[in-house]
Amino acid sequence: MEDGKEVVFDRTKIEDNDILYLHDSYIVTDGIFKDENIVFDTLTDEWKKFCHENLKFSIPDYKKKDTAAVAK
């Protein structure tokens, strides 16, 4: 925001203090919305392996948790 107005800019580099979001689709954005401000979207098996092994990324299994809660 600048002078109360939203400023849109093209990202030319990523800084150390930038916050990025890894979505369940393995796409990386610089905001919380999946289809906006995409920083990285080259989806390969190597990328998915990196996400799981190096970043310890996993997609939560909400369905399993919801089923367990209903069964109690």
Task: Give me the domain span that covers residue 35.
Answer: 21-71
| Inside any domain, residue 59 | yes
Distances (CA, A) of 69 to 38, 58, 59, 60, 61: 35, 21, 19, 15, 13
What is the number of domains present in the chain? 1
pTM: 0.67
Q: What is the pLDDT of residue 3?
A: 74
| Inside any domain, residue 63 | yes
Checking if the pLDDT of 63 tops 60, the result is no
| Inside any domain, residue 35 | yes
Query: With contact defined as beta carbons under 8 Å apart, do 18 and 30 qualify?
Result: yes
